[in-house]
Amino acid sequence: MIPLIRFYFKTLSLAAPTLAGKQAFSFFQRTNKNVIRKNERQFYNLSRHFRISHYKEDIDCYELGDPKNPLVLLVHGWDSNAGSMAAIAFQLVEQGYYVVAFNLPAHGFSKLKRVNLKICREYFLAVVEKMYPDKPFSVIAHSFGSAVATFSLANSRFEVNKLILLTNPNKFIEVLRGYQSFIKLSDKAFNVTLDMAEKLIGQPAADLNIEDMSNRINYDNLLLIHDRSDKVLSYQNSIAVKDKWKNSELVTLENIGHYKMLWNEHVIHSIMRFIDSPEGNEFGRTNSKIAS
């Protein structure tokens, strides 16, 4: 399938670059909703389901624990679902937190087929507005969810206590350039895709960098956890963010994996130690390491 996609866009880029750019932008937003795994289904069976109205589609939300306890919002990654955060959610509840997770558009049980950062931001803020936290809350996000969380919190009125990013992209323009290379899109066609993306998000793609968002988010402490050999998102992304964000820590994983980290007991233990710590910096000033 991938060779055919590359051949299609490479050929179309030469014959009709504007059309190729438009189709590439549409294809970029398309998700592949995977089957809900057995260990993810347990989350749906045990959580309380509620919906929040949205003009695109009602948002599927799930809660665990006592609403009187400190709030932790979970944000899953691309082609995933809220159930992927189950192991983290269950441990949070055991330690006295109130957990809320939601399925991003075109994920989980959604009927939508495409999604972008703009509508994900709308979903994120709609969920937080619904919960209406009267004091700082915490956010744990994975992969693409890290981009959603930071983009949503930037310039918002909300105060975040602990922000935990379990792998993260960094520069949006590099994500787009990587996509261009992957599908063999010509530069002329790519400029059409880039223009459409920038009009959608309302700012130049080159200005959308997680490493530069520190001063735009009201947070206390940041924890980054990333596998050095992550094949989905480069470990260098977290290093760049760590270097620019104040009150930040980086835990380096060794051969645990992009998705499997969500179920790794040592990773979960690191999350819990950090989120329970008054100051957040349980790991000292040097990077901690977790080996497989």
Confidence of residue 121 (pLDDT cuts 50, 70, 90): very high
Question: Is the Cβ–Cβ distance between 61 and 127 less than 8 Å?
Answer: yes
Provide the total of helices (H) and of strands (E) in the chain, helices listed first. 10, 9
pTM of the model: 0.94
Question: Tell me: the pLDDT tens digits for 220-262?
Answer: 999 999 999 999 999 999 999 999 999 999 999 999 999 999 9
| pLDDT tens digits, 166-189 | 999 999 999 999 999 999 999 999
227, 55 Cβ separation under 8 angstroms: no
82 closest CA partner among 97, 96, 64, 69: 64
133 pLDDT higher than 90 = no
* Superfamily of domain 36-105+115-137+156-184+199-291, CATH level 4: Alpha/Beta hydrolase fold, catalytic domain (3.40.50.1820)
